[in-house]
Amino acid sequence: MAHPFTPPGTTVVVTGGAGGIGRALAERFLAEGAARVIVADLDPERVERTVAELGERAHALVLDVTDEAAVTAAVAAVEREHAPIDLWCSNAGVAAGRDLGAAADWDLSWRVHVLAHVHVARALLPRMVERGHGHLLVTASAAGLLTNLDAAPYSVTKHGAVALAEWLAIRHAGTGVGVSCLCPQGVNTAMTAGDGPTAATRLSGAYLEPEDVAEATITALRDGRFLVLPHPEVADYERRRAEDRDRWLGGMARAWARVRGVGAE
């Protein structure tokens, strides 16, 4: 079980915070009473616009999460200029490549979905351990527990994000520092806007809204749960996968055959 976290009076950083799940998280933490939310994003115009819309307790931070020196500097700057960070939502993500992808797709996916979390863990978690409290939320995906049939770079690196979050949770047990891992299926964001009816993710059912993901996240943080599952059926899917891997692989192969069949019509 992760260390429970509640937002009132806290300082929260959300990466990828200018849109999609990140923006919904920032908005929800403010509504829950966070003292300040630092909205971090790579796009200066989007982050400034988002902060203006969210109000005076929202603050802008232009950040490339794949740049370790920039992440380290950002942690220090937030704590120097605002307050100690209580929660860091390592939420930035990309959808790079299809099928096996190109070398550039693998490189970008690895840097955003795995190394970005490593960078903030190195920079921030020792500070939290010294204080005896704090929380890291890693946004992975249900693809990190199951698979993504459309894109190997996405699926594999999201598995890496889950594995890293598990490792961090184990290593920081008993320190007062909590770690949670957010694993949604389909969500209506800019990343999924191009998903047509033949997208494999559509096989899992209806897409949620980012606000639904934020609601599930708040509930899981309050309860001190490691896994945040906005689509609760993912827990059942993962159990089936573990209980009979061959059967699960066969079912996924049949699902992929259906996707290809629809696409050929």
Enter the tokens of residue 77: 């700057």
Q: Which residues contact 21 (CB under 8 A, 6 or more apart)?
A: 91, 139, 182, 184, 187, 189, 210, 213, 214
Enter the tokens of residue 103: 């070398």
Hey, which residues does 154 pair with through a beta bridge?
none
Q: For residues 7 and 199, is the Cβ–Cβ distance under 8 A?
A: no
Q: Which residues contact 129 (CB under 8 A, 6 or more apart)?
A: 172, 175, 176, 177
Distance CA 196, CA 48 (A): 31
Distance CA 263, CA 196 (A): 10
Query: CB atoms < 10 A from the CB of 103, how many?
Result: 9
Hey, which residues does 13 pair with through a beta bridge?
38, 88
Active-site residue identified among 29, 154, 207, 248? 154
Active-site residue flag, 154: yes
Distance CA 111, CA 88 (A): 18
Closest among 43, 31, 79, 36 to 58, alpha carbons compared: 36
Distance CA 161, CA 112 (A): 10
| Count of all residues that appear for the chain in the document | 265
Question: Which residues are designated catalytic?
Answer: 154
